[in-house]
Amino acid sequence: MRNGRSRLAALVVGGMAAGAFLVWAIPGLAVSGESQVAGTVSKWVAKNSNDDQCTTSSEWTTVSDTTVTFNTTAFHQRVLIMFQGSWERTGESSSPNADLRAVIDGNVVNIDGIGDVETVDIDEADDTHGFNWISEELHPGGHAAWIEFQETGSSDSACVDERSMIVLAP
């Protein structure tokens, strides 16, 4: 981990700046060319971590320190999940890929009907990638959200180091 503090600070600042932008942009947020969601954000929950977590597994694994809890107060509310991480690989045989998905209360968050997986192509050490998910409508009460990943495409490990998980909720 070279210069880990400055990278973590950049992730936090970048994530918070993105969150501040999204707070203002949510009323006109375009999910795709065919659909749009709108809402207000009254609270946010964030978690940061800077320890390497690696996987060579093709099984879904929870990325450590990404579980955040939040509450919704009414029916038909959605949340925004934002995840950003610094990705690394081990070994030199090939470029591993990591598939990522967001999960709320054990249910995989669908990305606007087009699937539930985002792919990170880890070309070089310290690639930073960020992803956003819009949840389905949630029922009132307490919820937990987290990120899962799996390695695809090589025998090398896919690793995420500095990372930030933010949930914007009504």
CATH number reported for the structural domain that contains residue 87 in this entry: 2.60.120.760
Cα-only R_g, the chain: 16
Range of the domain at 160: 4-169
* Interval 67-90: pLDDT, tens: 999 999 988 889 999 999 988 877
* Interval 100-128: pLDDT, tens: 899 999 999 986 555 567 777 776 667 78
Distance between CA 84 and CA 131 in Å, rounded? 6
Task: Give how far the C-alpha of residue 37 lies from the chain's centroid of Cα atoms, to the nearest Å.
Answer: 19
Q: Which helix (H) or strand (E) holds 162?
A: strand 158-169
Q: How confident is the model at residue 25 (pLDDT cuts 50, 70, 90)?
A: very low
Mean pLDDT of the chain: 76
Is the pLDDT at 23 greater than 70? The verdict is no
What total number of domains does the chain contain? 1
Is the pLDDT at 65 greater than 80? The verdict is yes
Residue listed under structure tokens 């579980």: 67
| Contacts of residue 69, Cβ cutoff 8 Å, sequence gap at least 6 | 45, 142, 143, 144, 145
Instruction: Determine what percent of the chain is predicted with pLDDT higher than 70.
Output: 67
Q: Which helix (H) or strand (E) holds 100?
A: strand 97-104
* 17-40 average pLDDT score: 48
* 149-159 average pLDDT score: 78
State the number of CA atoms in the 13 A half-sphere of 24 facing the CB: 5
